[in-house]
Copies of this chain bind each other. A is one copy, B any other.
Amino acid sequence: MMHSRRDFLQYSALIGASAITAPLAGFAGISQQKKLGVALVGLGGYATRQLAPALQQTQHIELRGIVTGTPSKIPQWVEKYRIPEKNIYNYETFDRIADNKDIDVVYIVLPNSMHAEYTIRAAKAGKHVICEKPMAVNVREGQAMIDACKKAGRQLAIGYRLHYDPFHLEMMRLSREKTFGEVKLVEASDGFRAGDPNQWRLKRALSGGGPLMDVGIYAIQGARYTVGMEPAWVSAQEFPKTDPQKFRDVEESLSWQLHFPNGAIANSFSTYITNVNRLYAAAEKGWFEINNAFGYAGQQGRTSAGPMTFTHINQQAAHMDGVAKAILENRPNNVPGEEGLRDMKVIEAIYASIAAGGKQVKIS
């Protein structure tokens, strides 16, 4: 869908830029004049419809460059976001971004299997990196990305926008402060109906896996931060495919169970055949949950003591501003590579359990 600049401004007004301005206005100490410049690497749907619009609402970071392998996409980005010619790269010229002082941060929005390569190339070019989830297609790649950024003295952040969403922050708080006692059980499910049979998500060489890699990772995240510790063991099950042709390359549906050291449990499900989207916690004295938990908007929060009421924010803007602020203040960001790596370890253990017929597998 094409948007004119006027359409975009109307959209921006509609979703309420003020919602994100409000909490960030409280941050003192960074003068408005210093903003980081970001280049988006990969101009697919998420970059186009979510990140670029969100970057019109950020205070500490702004869109200054693009990296794309599709020249026909360039004119609309130039027109809409006034990207200067010198800040436009393709995948052959990408490494020259090292010499571009406009660009402080590179945001990798490529298919999963390209995350490691472009994160490492960006780090070598001296840029901070934000990389979409999953950070990589396996633990080995994820570790290499962390190492490369560390070696370059640059930050690595994963695209975990929900760590900046007020409903999810509330789940973390209710768990941490034991408002309803200790969390005993998390139910977390994330799935959607994958329509287009030709999308990269369904090609293992690009995605590294199916719904687990794509959206199940949010259920893993949700369980981890709602229990508030790292799981020790996992068992997992893959379901028979109802469309073996469409899903010939990746799993169609799967479930898994996380065992936490304190005895807490998470039961989860992820699929490409139906919408499901919920994060629920049962604690000793009550429960709390988000429905439409993992979407970009529309979270509905409830607790056994009443509704969770928060103003919805632009998650992507909050996430990118949060990371940018950490970089500007030279302190670690909230969603570092190490956080992404923990999910990769769980994902690898889930696939290992499925391969072993559902046996419990220790998470390394």
Contact = CB atoms under 8 A, between A and B. Distances in A.
Interface of A: 184-185, 187, 189, 191, 193, 235, 237, 239-240, 242, 253, 255, 257, 259, 262-263, 265, 267, 269, 271, 273-276, 278, 280, 282-284, 287, 357-360
A255 B257 contact: yes
A255 B236 CA distance: 11
Given A265-B253, A267-B255, A187 B240 contact: no
A233 to B, nearest CB: 8
Contacts of A259: 239-240
Contacts of A280: 276, 278
A187 B187 contact: yes
Nearest to A239: B265
A261 to B, nearest CB: 10
* Most B CB within 10 A of own CB, among A240, A253, A358: A358
A21 B338 CA distance: 62
A123 B263 CA distance: 45
Nearest to A240: B259
Contact of A282 (B275, B282, B283): B275
A48 to B, nearest CB: 27
Contacts of A275: 282, 287
A242 B182 CA distance: 13
A179 to B, nearest CB: 15
Contacts of A267: 189, 255, 267, 269
A136 B242 CA distance: 35
Contacts of A283: 274
A348 B358 CA distance: 18
Nearest to A268: B267
Contacts of A274: 184-185, 282-284
Copies in the complex: 2
* Most B CB within 10 A of own CB, among A274, A284, A287: A274
Contacts of A271: 184-185, 265
Nearest to A286: B275
A287 to B, nearest CB: 7
A270 B184 CA distance: 12
Contacts of A358: 235, 237, 357-360
20 contacts: A184-B271, A184-B273, A185-B191, A185-B253, A185-B269, A185-B271, A185-B274, A185-B276, A187-B276, A191-B282, A193-B284, A235-B237, A239-B257, A255-B255, A255-B267, A265-B271, A274-B283, A357-B357, A357-B358, A358-B358
A144 to B, nearest CB: 33
Contacts of A242: 262-263
Contacts of A255: 255, 257, 265, 267
A189 B189 CA distance: 13
Contacts of A184: 271, 273-274
Given A255-B267, A274-B284, 15 more contacts: A185-B271, A185-B274, A185-B276, A191-B282, A193-B284, A239-B257, A239-B265, A240-B263, A242-B262, A253-B265, A255-B265, A265-B271, A267-B269, A278-B280, A358-B358
Nearest 4 CB-CB pairings of A with B:
A358-B358, A242-B263, A184-B274, A274-B282
A280 B187 CA distance: 12
A310 B275 CA distance: 26
A357 B356 CA distance: 10
Nearest to A273: B184
